[in-house]
Amino acid sequence: MARIVLDYTYIQDFVKEADLFGYQSKVNTIHEIIERRTGAGSDFLGWCDWPERIAAEEVERIGQLAEEIRKEADALVVIGIGGSYLGARAVIEALSHSFERELPSRKPAIYYAGHHMSGKYLSELADVLKGKSVMLNVISKSGTTTEPALAFRFLKDLMARIAPNTDFRIAIIATTDARKGSLKTLADQQGYRTFVIPDDIGGRFSVLTPVGLIPIAAAGISVEELLKGARDMSAMLKQTDLANNPAYFYAVIRHYMYTHGKAIELLSNFEPSLHYIAEWWKQLYGESEGKGHQSLFTASVDFSTDLHSMGQWIQDGVRNIFETFLIVDKPLAETKVPALPEDIDGFNFLAGRMFDFVNRTAYEGVALAHKEGQVPNLTVRIPELNAYYLGQLIYFFEKACAMSGYLLGVNPFDQPGVEAYKTNMFALLGKKGYEQKNKELQDVLQRTQRKII
């Protein structure tokens, strides 16, 4: 069986291989820390062996629920923020028809809420849901995260008004903590069906748990294949030899680039289907490593679209970046360039060629041009865009993230900075228990002299 590979051809002008392989001893040490769970944040390393230890009964239960959703619901709304929805959306959008919601035979239509606080978005989502049979999958370990909690309130109230006979014990699925939290309490009181977010897996590493698997299965994607791909990648990454462990080698390259003047890593793809894979990747690395005023800034671009906007900056801007391409080897469709008798645009020379060939040639040209423009770049190659290889890719990036974070010297599994805005927001909104903080912030705001032109 083929596997994901790491092509680092175009970084060789910028770093000696010996310098990269010189990390081997440090990698061996960190690997032991990860496997034995002795490092910072080790309470959240449950994702490491999750593909092997998820119970067959749990996978079967998820499959049965997904079959019910597809049969009974016109629409499934996934309510969550960050890791509670990004992984599922990434897999679903990568493997679904680009115009899934426009195809009348496809159900359920999957929508997302709780990933921001836009009243306009929720109002317009309500317009779309009217007249449809709706189910909600609300995802939150605590149930008190502002964005999904408010969206859940809104959507439950909406359903009660537009479909007053809705049985919420059937229509609402809560993915939450096994024992505690406001969502767990509410689910028990109201009789919602529940699935558990494992205690030892944080949100951004949770896509292969019920957090991601329920929406993915509801979209008709094989969670068994997704998990199999992750298991196979997990087995391969047990070895520490950098010459045979692409995830660890990727982590080493990232660390080397950061310690040698690079501030930004771009994840670049050539398929619109991969846009949300990049969004998931940005959260995974940004939230795992962005601590202590250090680490790479993770950004992404969609080519060839962004070659006509960001392309100029990437080619000729500040040389503080390196680039990771995400490329699918097998063509996604056999769409050919037609011949035109008049050939006014001069592109008949491509007649009969597949668009994938043109797209692949664009990638090859861009990778070479960026190298010549002093942008080191490497490529993560996916043999085929299917559930199995996405399972591999997810585990590849997760394992590389753990190694990369520990190389940087941070705890890859906490997110203390996220709490700063929450504290201020709760205080300014007048939440109970934040009275003193509210007073402090109001004093600051009153003393702040606004500068407006």
In the chain, where are the structural domains located? 5-36+228-408, 47-221
How do 377-382 and 5-7 pair as beta strands? antiparallel
Q: Is the pLDDT of residue 211 over 90?
A: yes
Tens digits of per-residue pLDDT, 124-143?
Answer: 999 999 999 999 999 998 88
If you average pLDDT over residues 171-177, what whole number do you get? Answer: 95
User: Which residues have a Cβ under 8 Å from the Cβ of 244 and sit 6 or more positions away?
Assistant: none
How far, in Å, CA of 251 to CA of 249, rounded? 5
Tens digits of per-residue pLDDT, 156-173?
Answer: 999 999 888 889 999 999
- Sheet strands (E) in 52-133: 75-79, 109-113
| Two domains, one topology: 5-36+228-408 and 47-221 | yes
Q: How confident is the model at residue 442 (pLDDT cuts 50, 70, 90)?
A: confident
Dihedral (Cα; 440, 442, 448, 453), 10-degree rounding: 150
Q: Which of 197, 201, 168 is nearest to 181 (CA)?
A: 197
Mean pLDDT of the chain: 94
Size of the chain, expressed as the number of residues it contains: 453
pLDDT at 1: 65
> Under a CB-based contact definition with an 8 Å cutoff, are residues 324 and 379 in contact?
yes
Tens digits of per-residue pLDDT, 269-301?
Answer: 999 999 999 999 999 999 999 999 999 999 999
Q: Is the pLDDT of residue 425 over 90?
A: no
Give me the active site residues, please.
Answer: 287, 308, 422
Q: What share of the chain is helix, strand, coil (3-state, %, to 5)?
A: 55, 10, 35
Residue 334 neighbours by CB distance under 10 Å:
8
User: Which residues have a Cβ under 8 Å from the Cβ of 247 and sit 6 or more positions away?
Assistant: 233, 237, 396, 397, 399, 400, 403
pLDDT at 107: 83
Q: Is the pLDDT of residue 55 over 90?
A: yes
Percent of the chain with pLDDT over 90: 85
Fold of 5-36+228-408: Rossmann fold (3.40.50)
pLDDT at 89: 97
Task: Specify the CATH architecture of the domain 47-221.
Answer: 3-Layer(aba) Sandwich (3.40)
> Under a CB-based contact definition with an 8 Å cutoff, are residues 263 and 320 in contact?
yes
Q: Is the pLDDT of residue 315 over 70?
A: yes
Tens digits of per-residue pLDDT, 364-396?
Answer: 999 999 999 999 999 999 999 999 999 999 999
> Under a CB-based contact definition with an 8 Å cutoff, are residues 141 and 161 in contact?
no
**In degrees rounded to 5, what are phi and psi of residue 153?**
-55, -50
Q: Using H for helix, E for strand and C for coil, what is the string for 364-429?
A: HHHHHHHHHCCCCEEEEEECCCCHHHHHHHHHHHHHHHHHHHHHHCCCCCCCCCHHHHHHHHHHHH
How far, in Å, CA of 166 to CA of 154, rounded? 15
The model's pTM: 0.94
Task: Please report which helix (H) or strand (E) contains residue 29, including its range.
Answer: helix 24-36
* Residue 367 or residue 144, greater confidence: 367
If you average pLDDT over residues 51-56, what whole number do you get? Answer: 96
How far, in Å, CA of 307 to CA of 441, rounded? 43
Q: Quote the tokens at residue 293.
A: 């005023």
List b or e across 124-152, with b for residues whose CB sees 16 or more CB atoms inside 10 angstroms: ebbeebeebebbbbbbbbebebbbbbbbb
Dihedral (Cα; 359, 111, 298, 389), 10-degree rounding: -60
How far, in Å, CA of 180 to CA of 94, rounded? 34
pLDDT at 125: 95
- β-sheet with 321-328: strand ranges across: 5-7, 377-382, 321-328, 264-269, 297-302
Q: Is the pLDDT of residue 177 over 80?
A: yes
